[in-house]
């Protein structure tokens, strides 16, 4: 809504929403690891990479250059895929990219419930950190 208000004299709100949706579905986050938010950029060719949750490829800044580093060896003709930053659950991939994970084991949600300050707080936190055994 703020985007529409900022540019209402130059563009129709529908056009701005369309442009913003295209930008955010193709922009990648790059930056030094210490900078959590990083920078967003449109990198020609990178938006052609398909998604793979297990991909270990990553971006790295080197001076004024953005490098795309392969996290594995690739055979000639093998498709290079990207995890789009990793740690994306189905809600995120659906709302930002328009698809769900192919592998249902990659479907997850991270919850961080608040723990009330009382004499059992440490025990509650330990229970919350415990993961169920894999089937």
> Residue 99 — pLDDT band, cuts 50, 70, 90?
confident
> Residue 33 — pLDDT band, cuts 50, 70, 90?
low
pLDDT of 135 strictly over 50: no
pTM assigned to the model: 0.55
Residues 6+ apart with CB under 8 A from 43: 28, 30, 66
At 70 the pLDDT is 92
Residue with tokens 């769900």: 100
Residue with tokens 């020609």: 44
Q: Two tokens at 25?
A: 């579905």
At 52 the pLDDT is 85
Cα separation, 102 vs 48, in Å, equals 18
Task: Give 37-79 pLDDT, tens digit per residue.
Answer: 667 888 888 888 888 888 888 888 788 788 888 999 999 999 9
Give the CA radius of gyration of the chain.
20
> Residue 133 — pLDDT band, cuts 50, 70, 90?
very low
At 134 the pLDDT is 47
């Amino acid at each position: 809504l703020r985007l529409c208000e900022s540019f209402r004299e130059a563009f129709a709100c529908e056009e701005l929403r369309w442009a913003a949706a295209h930008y955010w579905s193709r922009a990648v986050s790059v930056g030094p690891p210490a900078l959590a938010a990083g920078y967003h950029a449109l990198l020609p060719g990178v938006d052609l990479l398909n998604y793979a949750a297990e991909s270990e490829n990553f971006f790295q800044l080197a001076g004024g250059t953005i490098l795309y580093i392969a996290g594995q060896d690739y055979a000639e003709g093998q498709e290079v895929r990207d995890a789009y930053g990793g740690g994306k659950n189905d809600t995120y991939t659906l709302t930002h990219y328009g698809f769900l994970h192919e592998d249902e084991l990659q479907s997850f949600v991270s919850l961080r419930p608040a723990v009330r300050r009382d004499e059992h707080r440490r025990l509650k936190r330990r229970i919350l950190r415990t993961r169920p055994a894999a089937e």
